[in-house]
Structure formats: C-alpha cells, structure tokens
C-alpha cells in the first residue's frame, strides 16, 4: 500500500487525483496508519489535499455543466479535507500555495463558467416569471374603459 509510483505518488494520492472514491474510502478502514499516509508528498511538495485541488480531466469529461462539476469538486475537496490532519490543511507546496489556494487557482475557469451559466438561467427564469404574472393578472375580456371594471363582472355563469 505504501509503494510509490514513479512520480512519487502513493495509490491513495493517485485515487484522490482521479476521484476514485472506492480506493480513497479504504483509508477509513486502515485506522491509525491513515495519518502517516496523508503526510506523503509528491515531488512538487503537494500533499493529498493539494492533489484534490488540481483539476481532474476525467471528471471534466464526465460532467457537462461547469456549475455541477464545481459542486462535485468542492464536495470532493471537503471530503478529503476532513481526512487530513489539521496541520496539513494549510501546508504549502514548493510553489508556496496552500491546498485551498491551489484549488481556487485551478478551478477559476469553472467558477467563471458556472457564474455565466447561472446568469443565463436567471434571465430565462425572469422571462418565465414575467409571462406567468402577466397571464395571472390579465382578466379575460379586458376592462371597461369608462369604469375600469372587468367586462364580464355582471354576467352570471350558468
């Protein structure tokens, strides 16, 4: 389990990078050794939480909407963050970045695409609400121009 890949990554770090939850969940079953495994760093000084911050190309291909992908990435970051010892959550890599800073930088494009998508949805929702309210408050037959009362107010329905 502690053998390293040629890039200096353990199987758990590779699982975190490629979002393999099944392999990652084995860390919960390991017990006390998980803190030791979480301390391993790659050649760039990235711990497991830094690796979550790097954008997963596989997840980007599987998820069509930027906002949904951003939500998944954030949930994955928070999940791995819970596993990490507190001292490693703010550790800096060789570039001087904390895991959160790396996550923010790597996912900046997703945030902007997600915001654009949300704005587009708000425009559509506003148009739908406008039409719905216009229909709801429009009286069939219109209003009498002299009195302002609906035209069908004095007619009885049979």
- Does residue 142 surpass a pLDDT of 70? yes
What is the rounded distance in angstroms from the CA atom of residue 158 to the CA atom of residue 155?
9
Position 6 in a domain = no
**CB-count exposure of residue 110 (10 Å: 0-12, 13-18, 19+):** buried
If you search the block for the tokens 């979550």, which residue do you land on?
52
What is the rounded distance in angstroms from the CA atom of residue 125 to the CA atom of residue 84?
41
pLDDT attached to residue 34: 74
Position 100 in a domain = yes
- Per-residue buried b or exposed e for 45-75, using 16+ beta carbons within 10 Å of the residue's own CB: ebbbbbbbbebbeeeeeebeebbebbeebee
Domain harbouring 107, CATH code: 1.25.40.20
Residue 104 Cα to chain centre, angstroms: 12
For the chain, the average pLDDT equals 81
Position 31 in a domain = yes
Position 145 in a domain = no
Of 32-36, 59-63, 116-120, which has the strongest mean pLDDT?
116-120
List the domain range (segments joined by +) for residue 33: 11-137
Position 21 in a domain = yes
Q: Is the Cα torsion angle 28, 30, 31, 34 positive or negative in sign?
A: negative
Count of structural domains, the chain: 1
Q: Cα angle vertex 93, ends 92, 97, to 5°?
A: 60
- Does residue 132 surpass a pLDDT of 90? yes
Phi (first) and psi of residue 32, to 5 degrees? -65, -25
Model confidence over 26-54: pLDDT tens digits?
Answer: 877 877 777 777 888 888 888 888 888 87
Position 117 in a domain = yes
């Amino acid at each position: 389990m502690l053998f390293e890949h040629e890039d200096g990554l353990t199987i758990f770090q590779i699982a975190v990078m490629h979002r393999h939850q099944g392999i990652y969940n084995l860390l919960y079953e390991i017990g006390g050794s998980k803190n030791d495994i979480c301390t391993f760093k790659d050649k760039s000084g990235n711990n497991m939480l830094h690796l979550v911050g790097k954008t997963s190309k596989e997840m980007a291909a599987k998820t069509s909407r930027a906002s949904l992908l951003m939500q998944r990435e954030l949930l994955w970051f928070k999940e791995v963050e819970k596993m990490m010892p507190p001292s490693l959550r703010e550790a800096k890599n060789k570039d001087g970045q904390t895991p959160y800073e790396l996550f923010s930088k790597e996912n900046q494009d997703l945030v902007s695409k997600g915001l654009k998508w949300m704005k587009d949805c708000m425009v559509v929702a506003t148009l739908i609400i406008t039409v719905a309210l216009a229909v709801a408050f429009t009286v069939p037959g219109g209003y009498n121009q002299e009195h302002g009362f609906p035209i069908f107010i004095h007619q009885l329905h049979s």
